Amino acid sequence: MAGPLAGIRVIDLTHMLAGPMATMMLADQGAEVIKIEPPHHGDPGRSRGRPIGMAPGFAMLGRNKRSVVIDLKQRRGVELLYRLIERADLFVQNFRPGTAERLGLGEPELRRIKPDLVYVSISGFGESGPLAHKRAYDPVIQAAAGVASIQGDRASGRPRMVRVIVSDKVTALTAAQAMTAALFARQRSGEGQHVRLAMLDAVLSFLWPEEMDNYTYPDSDHFNKLNVRDLVYETADGYITMAAIGDDEWRATCRALGHPEWLDDPRFRTQADRIANADERFDLTGQALKTRSSAEWLGILDREQVPCAPILSPAQVIEDAQVRHNRLVVEYQHPMAGRTRQTRPAARFERTPQEIRHPAPTLGQDTDEVLGELGVSREELAALRAAGVLG
């Protein structure tokens, strides 16, 4: 069975992580994603962290896509792309603001070729404004959006970065949802549109449920009470996490930890009290949890239905019983990346399932086939290649 986006053709000019992850999600859902790459080295993400072959990250982000090499700095290359646009539904690029227009690939130019095209621009800070010119990688956005401050060390006040590339991934999830929404709107109205997305906007919107308290209570430390402590608790032999948000969960926690007197403690009677006295609550909870092993506490907390989990290493996560039961991690031999493990597409569609149809392509692997579908002859392909247009 075909995926939910079968029949949708995407022209993908994105590189690195945010754009490629977003288009990977569309490809997993059945869209035909044609990845346009420059000659010689292609997407810089291909070899990220690996001098030869294919980086494992790209082996995932490039799956289910077709790779076409075109030199867009040559007019003949741009003309080839125009021919691809004629048959496309969606065009997505994450060049720095102004670059697409200089190449002749701005939204007005492509709209003349394909009036109902969904045109998507992903940028770091937006297409205009005081920071629009800046290069934007994950740590830059983490800093500008407040992530590093929120993650900061309480004792020293030193900001800290999240150790995964969170900004690009949040942007990718936001972009994938926006693209499918724009395609749905086009199906209803028959009209395409320009979708603009800045990484800064995506990450700040993602943070807003916590950030909102900072603006609701500008004259108090309410926000800081919520965010200064993590929920990592040491046990007799390791670490676990547990959380009690509602009153029922707090009562269950007091029973599980053997401290019913906390229920009558005026510092902890309501959720607002527990937030105001978070330090004392965390300290008392932490002291209690040091008295037994992780396995013992997890069993007790589970019986009382207190939200909890062991703190697992990445290697342990892969072997976790629930992860294995969900059949989330798949493994195969990639011709360039070698033995590769990836997560399957997370969402499960009952009638139009997502699937990994084919591995990430080598650079330019599909150039001749895709351009041949446009009617470009073998002789013309040879001439374009000799001229460097196809690398």
Residue 92's nearest CA partner among 28, 217, 6, 178 is 178
Q: Which residues of 234-272 are buried (b: 16+ CB within 10 A; e: fewer)?
A: ebeeeebebebeeeebbbbbbbbbeeeebeebeebeeee
Residue 305 corresponds to which tokens in the numbers above? 């239905």
Task: Give the C-alpha distances (Å, rounded to integers) separating 83 from 41, 48, 304, 324, 374.
Answer: 24, 31, 63, 45, 7
Phi, psi of 11 (to 5 degrees): -100, 115
The DSSP output letter for 162 is -
Task: Give the C-alpha distances (Å, rounded to integers) separating 352 from 60, 102, 346, 358.
Answer: 21, 40, 14, 17
Q: What single letter denotes the amino acid at residue 148? A: A
Query: Which ranges of 271-377 does DSSP label H, i.e. alpha helix?
Result: 271-276, 278-289, 294-303, 314-319, 321-325, 367-373
**288 Cβ neighbours under 8 A, 6+ residues apart:** 257, 258, 259
Distance of CA 99 to the CA centre of its chain: 24
- As annotated, the active-site residues are 168
Give the pairing of strands 32-37 and 9-13. parallel
CA 246/CA 72 separation, integer angstroms: 57
Residue 169's nearest CA partner among 199, 127, 143 is 199
